[in-house]
Amino acid sequence: MPMNPRLLRPIASGVHPEAAAWRSAVVGNGGSVSASTMKAVSKFCADIDAAGIRDRFYRLNLFCGTGLSACLVPLYRGASLGGTQYGNTTDTNNGPFVSGDYAENVGLSKAVSTTKHLDTGLATSALPAGVISSGHLSAAHGPLTQGGDSDPTLIGAHNGATERKSLSQSFRSATAGNEQGRWGKTVNVAATDGAVGLSKPSAFLLVQRTSATNLELWRNNSLVATNTTSATGIAGITFSMLVFGLNASGTHSGVDALNMRHYSIGDDMTSAQIGAFYTALQTFNTALGRTA
């Protein structure tokens, strides 16, 4: 490796600038990043760029790095590194989560009957008009097991019964549960996930609205449900998006057990773009040992 003649140490090379910026933010928040994780984050950034979808993301956290302080730092906070940034510089830890709730090869987890959640500080009312009316939420969770009647919300905000944007799981059936998504008004899209009993395997979920008459739910790179009910006059919500629960008109709702490996908030995508995003995430999670 070439040496810096003044500092007499290797010159860093091959690191994506957004990965480097994330690492700096992690260090500033009291965390650290291993060389292997840095390589995985840098590749993820390069894969997103190569797919031409960087501008689809207004906020994204991969829940990685060494220690909880690193986990709370999002990778993306705007549609570009140099453009407008949205939400808090870190995900605000409410509850709070503790160091034992996080392991890099597992993700961030909470137990049932706890109010632990993250506040992104991003209210969708702050997003560009086009994203407010047609956008996406995504999240990935690890294996889930629950006993009882439960609806863990991965991410979301609802303004009463007028405007809803959220992504959730459900354990309401002993034979199969429903995955549900909302983006705009009270229209929802749902799919039976086929999970037997009250256990669910790991899953990547994405809800997006691509037009007033098309709301989609994706699971593991497959379109599993659509809703063509017209939703016009979609507005932004002034309450910030919460993760590990729902912001219900300013109040956290959701006390269900949940493990998460990423979330994203942003613009809608084509099927090919969703496929590229899913593939980039799969490559990243494999590199971190998140194989279950």
Element (H, E) at 280: helix 271-287
Identify the pLDDT of residue 199. 78
List the chain residues with pLDDT less than 70: 1-13, 147-149, 172-177, 195-198
CA distance 46 to 130: 26
Which structure tokens are listed for 246?
């729902």
pLDDT for 127 equals 98
CB 223 within 8 A of CB 179: no
Q: Report residue 87 as tokens.
A: 């939400």
Packing angle of the helix pair 35-50, 271-287 (nearest 10 deg): 170
Provide the residue count of the chain.
292
From the CB of residue 20, how many other CB atoms can be counted at a distance below 10 Å?
16
Q: Which domains does the chain have, with CATH numbers?
A: 80-269 (2.60.120)
d(CA 187, CA 207): 12
Question: Peptide bond preceding 96: is omega within 30 degrees of 0, i.e. cis?
Answer: yes
pLDDT of residue 13: 60
Tens-place pLDDT, residues 155-211: 999 999 899 999 998 876 655 568 999 999 999 999 987 766 667 889 999 999 999
**Long-range contacts of residues 209-213, Cβ cutoff 8 Å, at least 24 apart:** 209/133, 209/134, 209/135, 209/136, 209/183, 209/184, 209/234, 209/268, 210/134, 210/268, 211/134, 212/133
Q: What is the pLDDT of residue 292?
A: 82
**What's the confidence (pLDDT) of residue 175?**
54
pLDDT tens-place string over residues 84-93? 999 999 999 9
